[in-house]
Amino acid sequence: MSKTRKGGRVILCTGCAFLRALTAFMALILNALPISASAEDRHLRVEVAEPYLELHVGPGEAYSVFHVVARGEKIEVLKQRTGWFKIRTEKNVEGWVPRARLEQTLVAPGEKFSVREASQENFVGRNWEAGVLTGNFEGSNLISLYTGYAFNPNLSAELSLAQILGDFSDSLMFNFDLVAQPFDDWRASPFFLLGTGVIDTHARKTVVASNDSRDQISHVGVGFKVYMGRRFIFRAEYRNSVIFAQSDDNKEIDEWRAGFAFFY
């Protein structure tokens, strides 16, 4: 992999041909697919009010700083990703700045730029919630998807679909729950739930003495939700369920679930 310069021309060895092709491909992508130019005049323009503003190469503190914008310079805000903003300077330099720094810039004389960011108040006043939970259903593994609608900060209704994968059978469970959350403004807020649903059990191929079945299931549960920042919550719960089996006596089930959810 050697590279020499002769009379202004760059000569690459054959070993670098692949790299050169890849570089050309990347450059092609970069040139062929630019951000639409028509969008330029729609971008917000702000003025740097701090002594300087550092630009990172990527959206994150770990990406290195490569450029500094001086006080008084105007910058354009192009887009945001995970609380970081891509900006363009008057000299067409593009880089990323964090929200806290951008909020020190001015949109008009004396008026600081402010970004509406989801907070715990949004969590309390949320309407919709959706997430993924995983856990244990009487010794079997469980994966569940759920979505909920909040009528008010204290009461919501949830629909959940769970797949239960055990050694002898796998099941699909569909539940409807009512969830009461009495201390809605706590960061770690406990909740109680009551619900019912249907569980479809399918015996494993390798197990002989078992049949497929469809039964009703009801449960009570207790758990908590923790606001993690932005639109993210952690949730963990315990459910005590009863399967109203058609063929046998009722079966009591201990169930644990934990996972993450978004609200909006």
Partner 1 sequence: MACRFRIFLLKGWMFVLASLTTISAWGATDQIINPQVDRREIVIPRIDTEDFEPGIFMGIMSVEDFGTQAVYGARLAYHVTPGLFVEGTYGHTEVGETSYEKLSGGARLLTDSERKLGYYDVSLGYNLLPGETYLGEGLGFTSDFYVVAGVGSTDFAGNQRFTVNLGTGYRLLANDWLAVHLDMRDHLFNMDLLGENKTTHNIEISGGLSIFF
Residues 35-54 that bind partner 1 (CB under 8 A): 35, 42-44
Where does residue 207 rank: exposed (0-12), middle (13-18), buried (19+ CB within 10 A)?
Answer: exposed
Q: Does residue 100 touch partner 1 according to CB under 8 A?
A: no
Q: Taking the complex as a whole, how short is the minimal distance between the CB of residue 75 and partner 1, in angstroms?
A: 13
Nearest-approach distance from CB 186 to partner 1, in angstroms: 22
Contact between 112 and partner 1 by CB under 8 A: the answer reads no
**Token pair 């201990």 is at which residue?**
254
Q: Is 9 among the residues that bind partner 1 (CB under 8 A)?
A: no
Given 11, 17, 57, 198, the residue binding partner 1 (CB under 8 A): 57
Subset of residues 157 to 216 that bind partner 1, contact rule: CB under 8 A: 163, 165, 167, 170, 204-206
Residues binding partner 1: number (CB under 8 A): 53
Q: Is 71 in the site for partner 1 (CB under 8 A)?
A: no
Give every CB contact of residue 235 below 8 A, 6+ residues apart in sequence.
131, 133, 223, 224, 225, 226, 257, 258, 259, 260, 261
CB-wise, 19 or 180, nearer to partner 1? Answer: 19
Instruction: Give the number of residues written for the chain.
Output: 264
Q: Does 11 bind partner 1 (CB under 8 A)?
A: no
Pick from 142, 167, 53, 137: nearest CA to 101: 53
Least distance to partner 1, CB of residue 176, Å: 22
**Angstrom distance (rounded) from CA 227 to CA 164:** 27
Q: Among residues 20, 112, 187, 214, which is the contact residue for partner 1, using CB under 8 A?
A: 20
1 sits near partner 1 (criterion: CB under 8 A): no
- The answer to the question of residue 119 lying near partner 1 (CB under 8 A) is no
Least Cβ distance, residue 154 to partner 1 (angstroms): 26
φ/ψ of 22, rounded to 5, equals -65, -45
Rounded alpha-carbon distances, angstroms, from residue 215 to 159, 195, 208: 18, 14, 20
Distances (CA, A) of 99 to 50, 88, 211, 252, 262: 14, 15, 58, 50, 21
Q: What is the DSSP letter of 59?
A: S
Residue of 8, 15, 72, 111 interacting with partner 1 (CB under 8 A): 111
C-alpha closest to that of 99 among 118, 125, 72, 71: 118
Torsions phi, psi of 122, nearest 5? -65, -35
In contact, 97 and 53? CB cutoff 8 Å = yes
Q: Is 21 in the site for partner 1 (CB under 8 A)?
A: no
Give the β-pairing of 9-12 and 65-70.
unpaired
33 binds partner 1 (CB under 8 A): yes
Q: Which residues bind partner 1 (CB under 8 A)?
A: 19-20, 22-23, 26-27, 29-30, 33, 35, 42-44, 57-64, 77-86, 107-108, 111, 113, 115, 132, 134, 140-141, 143, 163, 165, 167, 170, 204-206, 229-230, 232, 260, 262
